[in-house]
Structure 1
Amino acid sequence: MIDTSTNMLYHIGNLNTENRRVSFQMATGKKIDNGSEDSLLHANLINLEDKLRVTEGLKLQITKTQVMNEVSDSSLQELKTLLNKQDNGVITDLLKGLNSGMQRSDKLALATSLRGMRENMFDLLNARVDGEYVFTGSGTDKQTMVKDKNFDQNGKIEFGGDGFLRKVAVQPGSYRDRGITAYDAIFYTSSKSYAGESFTFEEGERIIDENGFEWKLNEAKNQLQKYDYNGNIYHPLNVGPVGDNITALNITSQTAESAATTTSQSVKATYTIANIGNSPAGKMFEAKHNYFDDLNVIIYALEGHATELDGTRGAVIDDELVRQTVSNGLEQTSRQFDATNIGHGELGGRNHVFNIAYDKLEAQETHYNILIQKIGGVDLAKLAMESKALELTYQSLYTTISKMNKLSLLNYMN
């Protein structure tokens, strides 16, 4: 009897173990609870779940990037609207300003309108998503466009970022450039040169090379020097144009600046480098001109004043110079509209890359989920049958135990 009871308890223990397994699998849908049950299956599941988490993380980054790109896209569209002549923008006002019948009050009204548009442009270029500026470049915590402390006097608005785009992972170890910088939104290229060519630029313009590094005039204004990612001058300075790793180029000629008069606007100094160098392959320099500087000159001209070299209001000018300045401003604005349009196109191309990457990640996520379910998931129909079999086995075993407990020597003798 003792042996029989021990044997029954042993079978009940096995049934309880099996019941816990079936209950766990039905509750979680997983085949195993820990690695000791099946080390090979556990290792495969860990690998797949790790890939799934990486995919989900990449999707999250790209979703944020898509939001930033949408903000950039809408901001550029509004910026183009402010510039475009077909949308009562700057070009429309400048065309009105060329009308010989314009009275002084009309020109002042146009200047006021342009000041308002300038503020709108400033706000659009300082668009942010989750505290990050979308047109700043690599340092998204820095304000994109910054007004000078004497803005009310000189109208200066400077770019506070750089020419390096943030890179976003689209696959493990694979990255793509995100968005565009203000160089592509509110600057136009006034001069461009390639390896072995001469290069001329105006004082105050931002000089960018083929890799996005900025080059600046030294204090003596006799050399153009390269600055690094952190905005610090390169050391040592290797003066070109011959050799590799050139970080400085000598100015070979320049034209003098001239102050504003009643009949002429101020003219900034220009600098020329005879040869920007022959290496590396694809070497290129661009002079980026800040459109806000042009807009300031136009506004002062409509108000009847020249613009000094420091951007402040100068002498009163005659109607002919006003007309000439507005005409030049119309050409500059058209160039800026074209540059902004090109930048908008580049943004659209980069947005498309992230949309494709997101679709690919979604497909990967679905694939990993299917694999995890296929490898580590359970067959619910089979579990249901096992559960029912367990139930019947329990019933049978307890019925047997019940009958055995009713047995006695008297019953046996009878």
Structure 2
Amino acid sequence: MRVTQSMLAANSLRHLSQSYSNMGKYQDQLATGKKINRPSDDPVVAIKGMYYRTNLTEVEQYKRNLSEAYQWMENSEAGIEHATQVIQRVRELLIQGQNGTNSPEDLKSIAVEIGQLKEDLANVANTQVAGRYIFNGTKTDSAPVTIDNGTITVDMNTEAFNVEVSSGVNLKVNINPSNIFGEDLFITLQSIEDALNSGNMETGDELLEHLDNHFDVMSAERSEIGARYNRLEMIDARIQDQEIIANRILSENEDADIEKVITDLTIQESIHRASLAVSSKIIQPTLIDFLR
């Protein structure tokens, strides 16, 4: 086979072009820190990267859901804590009103404070988080309790408000509001207020028993949400582990080994300089070179 000068020149230029391409690839890896910059560089790495990024995006969304769940549970527990404090204060006032040494004016003064506590409890029942009522089940756009000239009306939704905190795991983040701010509680408080205003405390022991029953129900509800909060913390810990693993796998799949890239780039530059030197000897001088 006859080897012509044009064949030598074409092969030299082709190899030089490939050398430039290799140097460009290593320079891109060094600049971006990634093994590939387009799917055609390595389709397998690109496909795996899409899958790993999807997993990481899901984990990040679950973290945002967890944040919302924490917000609901912590505010719900704070509401229960406030309600129990109100009940304890009402109990103290009721016992004070039963001691038989109070004048009618004293009883009315106690009734005024209980009325204020009743309205305060109604305001807590209408607690909003990010513009949503957390004590009205799934009807988060409407208030569960209305106050009209001292008259309290309760219209509560008790359905569970669930948040997806992990793949296929929906956790109830609200409480049963009727156990904390139910209509029976406000009826009991109104009965205590009416008894004090009338000065007739014959039903005081019965009302005290009703208060204690409400307190027990509140304590049970608080224990229940505490158990769910503990589960939420365990799910949170697992999600954090999943995020670390997902980031590590994604890094292993896409991130370039910088030390290796620098070494390969240095070697390729040496090869390229050698190729240029050889090509300059292979390509024949032109007529212009002889005229210099």
TM-score, normalising length from structure 2?
0.88
Q: For residue 360 of structure 1, report the CA deviation from its aligned partner.
A: 0.8
CA distance in 2, matches of 1:183, 1:26: 62
SS in structure 2 at match of 1:328: helix
Q: For residue 57 of structure 1, report the CA deviation from its aligned partner.
A: 0.8
The answer on whether the counterparts of 2:163 and 2:172 sit within 8 Å (CA) in structure 1 is yes
CA distance in 2, matches of 1:334, 1:410: 110
| Aligned position for 1:156 | 152
The answer on whether the counterparts of 1:136 and 1:182 sit within 8 Å (CA) in structure 2 is yes
Q: For residue 97 of structure 1, report the CA deviation from its aligned partner.
A: 0.6
Letter in 2 for 1:178: V
SS in structure 1 at match of 2:171: strand
Matching of residue 57 in structure 1 with residue 61 in structure 2: yes
RCO higher in 1 or 2 (8 Å CA, sep ≥ 6)?
Answer: 2
Letter in 1 for 2:191: V
* Alpha carbons of structure 1 residues 121 and 410: separation in structure 2 relative to 1, 3 Å: closer
Identity, % of aligned positions: 20
Matching of residue 303 in structure 1 with residue 181 in structure 2: no
* Alpha carbons of structure 1 residues 411 and 96: separation in structure 2 relative to 1, 3 Å: closer
* Alpha carbons of structure 1 residues 107 and 391: separation in structure 2 relative to 1, 3 Å: same
The answer on whether the counterparts of 2:33 and 2:255 sit within 8 Å (CA) in structure 1 is yes
Q: For residue 410 of structure 1, report the CA deviation from its aligned partner.
A: 11
Matching of residue 167 in structure 1 with residue 171 in structure 2: no
| Aligned position for 2:96 | 96
Flag the structure with higher helix content.
2
Matching of residue 334 in structure 1 with residue 212 in structure 2: yes
The answer on whether the counterparts of 1:186 and 1:336 sit within 8 Å (CA) in structure 2 is no
Q: For residue 403 of structure 1, report the CA deviation from its aligned partner.
A: 6.8
| Aligned position for 1:366 | 244
CA distance in 2, matches of 1:72, 1:177: 12
The answer on whether the counterparts of 2:161 and 2:173 sit within 8 Å (CA) in structure 1 is yes
Consecutive unaligned residues of structure 2, counting only runs of 5 or more, are none
* Alpha carbons of structure 1 residues 410 and 37: separation in structure 2 relative to 1, 3 Å: closer
The answer on whether the counterparts of 2:23 and 2:269 sit within 8 Å (CA) in structure 1 is no
Consecutive unaligned residues of structure 1, counting only runs of 5 or more, are 188-288, 305-318
What pairs with 1:35-114 in structure 2 (closer than 5 Å)?
35-84=39-88, 89-114=89-114
The answer on whether the counterparts of 2:52 and 2:246 sit within 8 Å (CA) in structure 1 is yes
The answer on whether the counterparts of 1:41 and 1:375 sit within 8 Å (CA) in structure 2 is yes
SS in structure 1 at match of 2:210: helix
Flag the structure with higher strand content.
1
What pairs with 1:375-414 in structure 2 (closer than 5 Å)?
375-400=253-278
What pairs with 1:138-157 in structure 2 (closer than 5 Å)?
138-147=138-147, 151-152=148-149, 155-157=151-153
SS in structure 1 at match of 2:99: coil
The answer on whether the counterparts of 2:8 and 2:282 sit within 8 Å (CA) in structure 1 is no
Q: How many residues align?
A: 286
The answer on whether the counterparts of 2:20 and 2:272 sit within 8 Å (CA) in structure 1 is no
The answer on whether the counterparts of 1:52 and 1:369 sit within 8 Å (CA) in structure 2 is yes
RMSD of equivalent CA atoms: 2.5
| Aligned position for 1:219 | none
The answer on whether the counterparts of 1:156 and 1:293 sit within 8 Å (CA) in structure 2 is no
Letter in 2 for 1:302: L
SS in structure 2 at match of 1:176: strand
TM-score, normalising length from structure 1?
0.63
